[in-house]
Amino acid sequence: MKKLFLILTVLFFSASLLQAQSKKNAKNGKKREKIAAMRTAFITEKLELTEAEAEKFWPITNQYHVKRKAVNNSYKQDKSLESMTDEEAEALINDHIAKEQQLLDLKKDYIRQLKSVLPAKKIVKLKRVNRQFKKEILKRSGKRKEKRKMKMK
């Protein structure tokens, strides 16, 4: 009887944890979508993209970000540094260099594609605008954290 009770308790808590995790993932997905929409609006406005430019710009940019994320995810360090041998560390260094080269090649291709869509000035301005957007998001995030702290007091 005790075993049955223990099994049911473990199953109940496991199900609760899984449900909480799936809610958290859904919440994070909504946050990501909201930030992506804000980013699109911010960049479109700051770069003063025409409708024709935006139509061509966003598919290229979205594809670039997907590819960049794939490259970054393909080079994850599996072992802790303390348990790593010198040979494994050497391989990790080489992997890091290969990843950086892949990212550079990807960026070159991205800029080449953008040149067919945007004038050079807007491409140069894009880096600045991306930085501004990140600062804006961090600032908003900091304000939200401050508000939460004030509510807790």
| Interval 39-87: pLDDT, tens | 999 999 999 999 999 999 999 999 999 999 999 998 776 667 788 888 9
pLDDT at 129: 97
Nearest to 68 by CA among 105, 114, 112, 41: 105
Of all residues in the chain, the percent with pLDDT exceeding 90 is 58
**Residue 48 DSSP SS3:** coil
H or E segment to which residue 119 belongs: none
Triad 112, 49, 35: Cα angle to 5°: 90
The predicted model gives 140-152 an average pLDDT of 73
Predicted pLDDT at 64: 97
- Coil vs helix vs strand at 153: coil
pLDDT surpassing 60 at residue 11: no
End-to-end CA distance of the chain: 46
SS3 per-residue string spanning 69-98:
HHHHHHCCCCCCCCCCCHHHHHHHHHHHHH
pLDDT tens sequence across 74-85: 877 666 778 888
pLDDT value, residue 143: 73
Q: Is the pTM of this model over 0.85?
A: no
Q: How confident is the model at residue 24 (pLDDT cuts 50, 70, 90)?
A: low
Neighbours of 113 (CB within 10 A): 17
**For the stretch 12-41, what's the b/e string if a residue is b when 16 or more beta carbons lie within 10 angstroms of its beta carbon?**
eeeeeeeeeeeeeeeeeeeeeeeeeeebbe
Burial of 57 (0-12, 13-18, 19+ CB in 10 A): buried
* Residue 141, pLDDT score: 83
Among 3-7, 39-43, 118-122, whose mean pLDDT is lowest? 3-7
| Residue 1: predicted pLDDT | 54
